[in-house]
Chains A and B, each alone.
Chain A
Amino acid sequence: MTMKANNRQVNGVTIVDMSGRITLGEGSVVLRDSIKDLIGKGQKKILLNLGDVSYIDSSGIGELVSAFTSVRNQGGELKLLKLTKKVHDLLQITKLYTVFDIKDDETEAVRSFK
């Protein structure tokens, strides 16, 4: 399944609705380019909606970590929304679950940005 990323703005937060697979190659590149583009535009509050992301491999996990670090280095915040069980489990076994700020509810997630 092709990876897609669509942006929308809610109360100053950029929500990136992602769907498909974040894997080595296309999926990781889509994520990387999306974050790079948002940082370039000065967007510092980014909520990655992973509700329709069916699969992430180790490259995809690495890309999430890089995205988190890139946004933070620019003084921004990147949070994750609606993890599937598989993605949730992956972040737990890689000990990244506590690194990311992970939300289930979009309204609450948007409100949580400073």
Chain B
Amino acid sequence: MKNRVSYTLDSTLVSVNHAESKAHEIAARAGFSEDDQYNIAMAVREAAVNAVLHGNSRDPAKKFFVAYETTHEALVITITDQGQGLDPALLPDPLSPENLMKGSGRGIFLIRAFMDEVKFRNAAPGTEITLIKHHSRKAASSKEETQ
């Protein structure tokens, strides 16, 4: 069974908070652990911040789109902005000595740390980032047993 819900949001920090709290709520409902709920919500927050700040440059005329899809296997979240596009290969490594003490540049690193899979796609215009968190094997088998 698949459930999907999506939102079109203004390029504001209020929308970022909305995307984050919705992620938390959906991850909880999908049966993820509290740690996973926290990590998923933070990954969504970071992706939404990128969409608002770097993608849409807070342009009030631009929106960003968040879709949450839950299946038995995973939670898949897609966030799309209307910006100029992003090449993830060009992102500096925040762990390298020259970047370690920088005040920014850790968002996508944290997203990758917290999610099982992260995919980027040029949405022309804009960037689509897909965040995937799989249910653990134990959680998945436990869910199957109760059905």
Binding site for B on A (CB under 8 A): 23-25, 55, 57-59, 61-63, 65-66, 68-69, 86, 90, 93-96, 99
Contacts and interface: CB of A to CB of B under 8 A. Distances in A.
Contacts of A59: 49, 104
Nearest to B107: A58
- Which range contains the number of B residues in contact with the other chain? 20 to 34
B42 interface: yes
Contacts of B104: 58-59, 62
Interface stretch (B79-87, B95-103, B125-133): B95-103
Interface of B: 13, 16, 38, 42, 45-46, 49, 53, 94-95, 100-107, 109-110, 113
B16 A99 contact: no
Given A57-B45, A58-B110, A94-B109, A65 B102 contact: yes
B16 A95 contact: no
A86 B38 contact: yes
B125 to A, nearest CB: 24
A24 B106 contact: no
Provide the main secondary structure of the chain B interface: helix
17 contacts: A23-B45, A24-B49, A24-B53, A25-B13, A57-B42, A58-B46, A58-B49, A58-B106, A58-B109, A58-B110, A65-B103, A68-B101, A86-B38, A90-B110, A94-B109, A95-B95, A95-B100
Contacts of A65: 101-103
A22 to B, nearest CB: 13
B111 to A, nearest CB: 9
Given A24-B16, A65-B102, A96-B100, A57 B95 contact: no
Contacts of B13: 24-25
B101 A69 contact: yes
Contact of A63 (B53, B95, B100, B103): B103
A7 B37 CA distance: 33
Contact of B94 (A57, A86, A94): A94
Kindly list the 4 A-B residue pairs having the minimum CB-CB distance in the complex, ordered from nearest. A62-B103, A58-B106, A66-B103, A58-B107
Nearest to A93: B113
B95 A94 contact: yes
A65 B100 CA distance: 9
Contact of B49 (A57, A69, A93): A57
A96 to B, nearest CB: 7
Given A57-B49, A63-B103, A65-B103, 19 more contacts: A23-B45, A24-B16, A24-B49, A24-B53, A57-B46, A58-B46, A58-B109, A59-B49, A61-B106, A62-B102, A62-B104, A62-B105, A65-B102, A68-B101, A93-B113, A94-B94, A94-B95, A94-B109, A95-B100
